[in-house]
Structure 1
Amino acid sequence: MEIKIITLHSLFNPGSAFQAFALQHYLSKNGDVQIIDYRPAYSRYGGSFFKAFIKKLLYFRLRKNQSEKFEAFMKNYMNLTKTFYTYKSLCKANLKADLFVTGSDQLWNTDYPCGKDNAFYLDFVKNVKKISYSTSVGKKHIEEENLKKIKSFSDDFSSIAVREKDTAVQLGEKLKRNVEWVCDPVFLLDRDVYDSMIAQKPMFDKPYAFVYLSPKSPMLDTLIKYYRFKGLMIVLGGGYNKSRCDCDVHLKDMGPIDFLNCIKFAKVIISTSFHATAFCHIFHKDFITILPPKNGERVVSLLEQTNLMSRSLIERVDFDAIQKPIDWDDVDRKLSEYTDVSKDYLDRVLNFNKRMM
C-alpha cells in the first residue's frame, strides 16, 4: 500500500518534527509511506517575512545551526516527497497514493494559517481515500467559522479522528457522523524508539530543570526559585530571548534531538508545550505544565486521560500537588488503553483499504 501524509513537519518546532516522524514510522509497517514536503511561506517565515528576515540578520549563526539540526533530522528520519512551496504547485503535482492522511498538530485551527490552508484538508486529492489522524483544532470551544471550514471538506473523508475529546464530540454533532478520539502519534511508538535516537548521557554535568516554551510569568519565576533552592541548574530551551526566566544555560539553537535529550535527563520539566508534556509521560519524568491562556485543550485532554491534571497550573503554584510522586504504573495503564484504541482505528482503516485494493 502507498500512503502519503500531509502535516506540519518542517517547522523549527521539535513537537511538530516528532509527531510527523512517529506517524510515518507507525504506518510504515503497512507499506510505502511518504510525508508530503509541503512548505508554504507562512511555515518558513512564521507568518511574517519581515520579522523572519530581522531574526535571520540578528541571529544568523544560531538560526543556521538550528536549521541544520532540523534538516538533518528530516533527512535521517523522514521519507519525504519532492518539496512544494505553494498550494498551486501541490495541486499541479497530481500526487499518487492508495491513501492520503492529514496528520497531527493543529492543522484545523483557523487561528493559525495552516487552519485556513486547503492543503491540510486534502482538497488537492481527488477520487482517492482520505482520512484524518489526530488532527487538532486545539481549543475547547470551536467557533462557527472554524466549524464551517472543517464541514466544507469533511464529506470527502472516509473517516475522521482528532486529538482532543471535546473536539471529537463537537465535530461529531456538527458533522452528524462518527468522529473518533485518538492519541497524538508520538504515543504510537515504544520508548525504545526514542531512546535509540539520543545519546545515553545528559548534555550537562549537573542536575537540572528544563524550561521549554513557558512565557515569563510570576508562576514561572516562583517555580524557578523553588527548583534553584533545591539545587537544580536551570536550562532554558528554545527562543532567542533569555529574559523570560533566570536561567543558567540557554539553548537558543535547540534541535529535535537536543529537545529529547533535555527531557530524558532532566529532574523536572516546566513547560506550556503539549509535546514536552507528552514526552514527560513517555520517559516518566517529573513535570509541571503551565496551561496556556489559548489553545490549551490538547494538553488538558491528555492530562485528564492520564489523571495528572494536578500537574497543571493556571493561576498559582500548588506545591503540595507538584511534590506528590506520580504513579507511573497507573499512568501507563491509562495511556495503554488510549493508544490501543488509536492503533485499532488505524489498523481498521488500513485493513479495510487493503481489502478494497
Structure 2
Amino acid sequence: MKKIGIVTFHQALNYGAKLQAYALQQFLEKNGIENDVIDYTCHFMYTRNIRPIRVGKHHKLKSFIRSLITMRQVGIDRKKSVTFRNEFLNLSRPFDAKNIGEASNEYAAFIAGSDQVWSPICVGFDTVYLLDFAKPKQKYSYAASFAVDKLPADKEHTYKELLSQFQLFSVREKSGADIIENLINRKAEISIDPSLLLTEDDWDKISRCPVPKEPYIFLFSVRKPIKLISYALELSKKTGYKIYYLQKERLHKIDGIEYLDPVNATEFVGLIKNAEYICTNSFHGTAFSVIYKKNFAVELQHIGGRNIRAEELLNNLGINDREITNDVFPNINGAVNWERVDNVLLKERNKSKEYINKIKELIQNESSEVTV
C-alpha cells in the first residue's frame, strides 16, 4: 500500500503546529499506517506569518513596524523550525499550489488536520487544506478545525462541495461536527488534539531542556496577557524561583523576568517537562502541562477573546480550578485527580485508534479493489 499524506500547518511558526504534526505522524505509525507530512507551502501563510518582513491586509504600517521589531526573533524561529522539521518529521517532496495535484498519484490517501486547517480566514481560505487536489476516495480528516461556529455565506457552497467528497470526518470541536451535520447531513467524530495522543514516555524521546536544571517558572504566552505576568511575578516572589519567559513579541521588557529566544519545539517540550510551575495562556502550553502532570495555571481570557480550546480540555479532564482572572489568582499547588485525567485520555486515545483503524481498513479495501 502507498503511504498516507498528512496535510497540516507543519511550517507554521508556533510550537503547537509542529508538535501536533509530529504527534499525528507518530500515532499513525504506531497504528500501522506509513505516512509523510505533505511539505506544502501555502503562499498566504508564508507571506503573513513566516517571512521576516510581514505586512497584513489591514493596518499595514502597524504590522510592518511590528515585523521590524520581531524580525530577529522570527529569523531564529524560522531556522529552528526548519531544523525540527528536517530532524523529526517524515516529509514528502516539496509541493506548492502549482504542483500539489501530482500528490494524488503518489499517495494512497490524505488526512487533513489537525489545527485550523478548515478556517475560512487563517490561511486565506486555501482549499488545498480541504483536499481539493485529491480524489474523493482519498479524503479523510483528523481533528480538523473550522475555528468558527458559523461559515461565511459566500463560502458555504465551496465547503459543501468539497466536504461532501470526504470518506470519514474527525473534527476538533463540537461546533465543527455541527457545521458538517448542518451542511451535508454527515456525522463527524470529535477527537483530541494529536499532542495528547502521545504519552509522557513518548514525548520524553524528543524532550530537550535549554536552561539549567534548577527549579524555575516557565511563562509562555501566545496572546497578549492580562494578569498572567502579574501572577507569574507573584509566584516568583513567593517561591524565589526564576521566571523564564518564552514570547516572541518583546515590545517591552519587565524586570524580574528572563526572556528566552525562540527555541526548538523539542526544547519547548523540555521547558515544560523540567519546570516546577507553568503559567500560560496557550492551548499547547496547557496540554503539555497535563501530559507531564505539572503544577500549572492558565489565563483563558485574553484581549480579543477566550481560549475555548483550553477551557474545553480542562473541563473534560475535570480540572476546573486553574484559571487566572482579574479577581482570582488560583492555588497552583492544588491537588489534581491525575488518575481520572489518565483514564479520560486513555479513553480518547482508544477512540482515536478506532477511528484511524477505520481509515486503514477503507484504504486497504480500496487498494485491494484496484489490484484486482
Q: Distance in 2 between matches of 1:173 and 1:182?
A: 19
Instruction: Please say if 1:223 is aligned against 2:225.
Output: no
Which letter does structure 2 place at the counterpart of 1:269? I
Seen in structure 2, the aligned counterparts of structure 1 residues 316 and 90 have a Cα distance that, compared at 3 Å, is: farther
* SS of residue paired to 1:204: coil
Name the structure 2 match of 1:7.
8
Does the 8 Å contact 1:267/1:286 carry over to 2?
yes
Report matched runs for 1:72-111 at 5 Å. Answer: 72-84=83-95, 86-91=96-101, 94-111=104-121
Q: Distance in 2 between matches of 1:65 and 1:181?
A: 35
Kindly provide the CA deviation profile for residues 249-290 of structure 1, in whole angstroms up to 9, marking residues without a partner as x: 211222212211111111221222111111111111122221
Name the structure 2 match of 1:297.
308
Alignment partner for residue 33 of structure 1, among 30, 35, 49?
A: 35
CA RMSD of aligned residues (A): 2.7
Which letter does structure 1 place at the counterpart of 2:322? R
Report matched runs for 1:108-123 at 5 Å. Answer: 108-113=118-123, 116-123=125-132
Alignment partner for residue 46 of structure 1, among 40, 44, 48?
A: 48
Report matched runs for 1:119-268 at 5 Å. Answer: 119-139=128-148, 141-145=149-153, 149-199=158-208, 203-230=211-238, 231-241=240-250, 243=252, 246-268=255-277
Kindly provide the CA deviation profile for residues 74-118 of structure 1, in whole angstroms up to 9, marking residues without a partner as x: 11111111222x42332355542111110101111223125x110
Does the 8 Å contact 1:108/1:136 carry over to 2?
yes
| Structure 2 spans left out of the alignment, 5+ residues | 56-63, 368-372
What percent of counterpart residues are identical? 28
| Structure 1 spans left out of the alignment, 5+ residues | none
Does the 8 Å contact 2:76/2:261 carry over to 1?
no
Name the structure 1 match of 2:23.
22
Which letter does structure 2 place at the counterpart of 1:227? L
Does the 8 Å contact 1:214/1:270 carry over to 2?
no
Kindly provide the CA deviation profile for residues 1-35 of structure 1, in whole angstroms up to 9, marking residues without a partner as x: 32011100012211100111111111124243111
Seen in structure 2, the aligned counterparts of structure 1 residues 314 and 168 have a Cα distance that, compared at 3 Å, is: farther
Q: Distance in 1 between matches of 2:321 and 2:158?
A: 35
| TM-score normalised by L of structure 1 | 0.88
Q: Distance in 2 between matches of 1:312 and 1:170?
A: 29
* SS of residue paired to 1:88: coil
Seen in structure 2, the aligned counterparts of structure 1 residues 158 and 257 have a Cα distance that, compared at 3 Å, is: same
Q: Which moved more, 1:223-232 or 1:54-63?
A: 54-63
Name the structure 1 match of 2:60.
none
* SS of residue paired to 1:197: coil
| TM-score normalised by L of structure 2 | 0.85
Q: Distance in 2 between matches of 1:93 and 1:117?
A: 16
Name the structure 1 match of 2:352.
342
